[in-house]
């Protein structure tokens, strides 16, 4: 009678890491849906979600692009166990990456010429409505 070898410790750690990653992605998608619903209820039109702008210096991901009138908001969504943890999770590197991605996004869409732009954040925690931080930061330069 032969037995299959038990997975190595490294393999078990890798599987656990992948499971945590999948859980985090599901939570992120749920948080984005909650934010999209919240924005729509307040009169925002969702232009895009999960935009990846490519590789190189303009690379980045924009969670939500929303428009109301002439205002376009590039929104970073953060879901954590508390709103404070969600706020703290937005790093300077992420803000810079979002600013570069937004510049690429706008450059590819002539229809947005003449619009005003800002960077918002939406924070999501269990059993709380998403908190919308308006004009959460300014792009450098």
Of 21 and 116, which is predicted with more confidence?
A: 116
Summarize pLDDT for 66-101 with one digit per residue, the tens.
999 999 999 999 999 999 999 999 999 889 889 989
CB-based contact 39:64 (threshold 8 Å)? yes
User: Domain residues for 71?
Assistant: 9-137
> Per the domain annotation, does 107 fall within a domain?
yes
Average pLDDT, the chain: 85
> Per the domain annotation, does 1 fall within a domain?
no
> Per the domain annotation, does 67 fall within a domain?
yes
> Per the domain annotation, does 116 fall within a domain?
yes
The pTM assigned to this predicted structure is 0.80
Total domains in the fold of the chain: 1
> Per the domain annotation, does 49 fall within a domain?
yes
At 87, list the tokens.
Answer: 């706020």
Residue 69 to residues 2, 73, 96, 132, Cα–Cα distance (Å): 69, 11, 26, 18
CB-based contact 115:26 (threshold 8 Å)? no
Helix and strand tally (H, E) in the chain? 3, 5
């Amino acid at each position: 009678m032969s037995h299959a070898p038990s997975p190595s410790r490294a393999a078990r750690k890798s599987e656990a890491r992948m499971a945590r990653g999948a859980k985090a992605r599901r939570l992120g998608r749920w948080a984005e849906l909650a934010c999209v619903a919240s924005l729509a209820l307040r009169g925002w039109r969702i232009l895009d979600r999960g935009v990846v702008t490519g590789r190189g210096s303009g690379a980045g991901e924009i969670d939500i692009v929303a428009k109301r009138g002439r205002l376009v908001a590039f929104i970073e969504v953060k879901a954590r166990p508390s709103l404070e943890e969600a706020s703290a999770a937005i790093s300077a590197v992420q803000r810079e990456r979002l600013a570069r991605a937004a510049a690429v996004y706008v450059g590819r869409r002539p229809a947005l010429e003449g619009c005003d732009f800002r960077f918002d954040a939406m924070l999501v925690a269990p059993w709380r409505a998403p908190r919308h931080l308006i004009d959460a930061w300014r792009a450098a330069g």
